[in-house]
Structure 1
Amino acid sequence: MTTNKKNVIELDVRPILKEKGDPFEKIMTTVKLLKKSETFLLHAPFKPTPLLTIMKKKGFTIEINQLEKKHWTVLFRKEE
């Protein structure tokens, strides 16, 4: 998890998934720790469709980008 100057918290779950781990708890912990001024940028090897539904229900807007065949980014912003 890193923070840059634009108040974006990044989490790359690709290494966790590569090791056959489940990143859901780490994702939810990161979301819980977000401050109002911060956005959450998730890196994943696929489009995390079930997570998108959960995050929409939590009041987040979502921006999805596929950078490579196995590299997706999803930017979550809390709706005001």
Structure 2
Amino acid sequence: MAHESQTDADRRLDAREIDGEPFDDIMSALGSLPADETLVLVNSFELSPLYDVLEERGFEYILHNPSPDLWEMEITHA
């Protein structure tokens, strides 16, 4: 059964589909995120090293962990 996201996102980035380290792709997506939009970042594990980076760059986030191998992070400008 496919997981349906319960979040309303203007943009979505699935890090599971990125070959290699996803940091640059994530930062690029955030760099082009308008102030009134939300990016949902999807991954198979918690991206805890990203928390401090987001806060330092002026973003807020909400985490969802609907299953053991699915993490969704809603990211908005603070």
TM bin, normalised by shorter chain, reads 0.7 to 0.9
In the other structure, the counterpart of 2:25 is 26
The percent identity for this pair of structures is 27
In the other structure, the counterpart of 2:55 is 56
Runs of 4 or more above 6 Å deviation: none
Give deviations 1:13-36, integer Å, cap 9, x for gaps.
1122xx5x1111110100000111
The SS at the match of 1:49 is coil
Q: How far is 1:7 from its partner?
A: 5.7
Q: How many corresponding residue pairs? A: 71
Could you tell me whether the CA contact under 8 Å between 1:59 and 1:78 is conserved in 2?
yes
Distance 2:29 2:60 in 1: 16
Could you tell me whether the CA contact under 8 Å between 2:35 and 2:76 is conserved in 1?
no
Q: TM-score, normalised by structure 2?
A: 0.82
In the other structure, the counterpart of 1:15 is 17
Q: TM-score, normalised by structure 1?
A: 0.80
Q: Which runs of 5+ in 1 are unaligned?
A: 1-5
Instruction: Looking at secondary structure, tell me which structure has more helix per residue.
Output: 1
Distance 2:52 2:45 in 1: 15
Instruction: Looking at secondary structure, tell me which structure has more strand per residue.
Output: 1
Q: Which runs of 5+ in 2 are unaligned?
A: 1-7
